[in-house]
Amino acid sequence: MSVKLVVLKTGESIITDIKEGIVDDKLVCYVLEKPCKILVNGTYSFNENEETPSQNKVSISLQSWPIFSIDDVLEISPDVIITVVNPNSQLEEMYNKQVLGEIENETN
């Protein structure tokens, strides 16, 4: 599995398990499995205690992409992609838990 952050020409950021669709040694499409659009819901500030400065955090959520589709495997043209990068660890963990249903091993 290769979870990546895909930035589309539309400006949308998608987190997905991505693979290359190759035909005759030529890239013809990307295959996105369980793609989710990243929605930024806003920012907020908090103080851990009175002695530390406030820190800004971003509230995000994941939405199935494209919305209202029942398909969880999609092929898209390479022409619609600006870049494919690694997501930060917090976003990848959120995707793994919420979308892929992975649960961390717990030890007693």
Contacts of 99 (CB under 8 A, 6+ apart): 15, 34, 36, 62
Domains of the chain plus CATH, in order, are 3-46+54-98 (2.30.30.100)
Could you read off the pLDDT of 57-86 as tens digits, one per residue? 788 999 999 999 999 999 999 999 999 999
Higher local confidence (pLDDT), 26 or 45: 26
pLDDT at 104 over 60: no
Q: Supply the pTM of this predicted model.
A: 0.80
Determine the longest span between alpha carbons in the chain, in angstroms. 62
- Name the 3-class secondary structure at 79: helix
> Is the confidence at residue 48, as pLDDT, over 70?
no
User: What is the percent of the chain where pLDDT is above 70?
Assistant: 83
Question: CA dist 28 to 3, 19, 40, Å?
Answer: 20, 11, 31
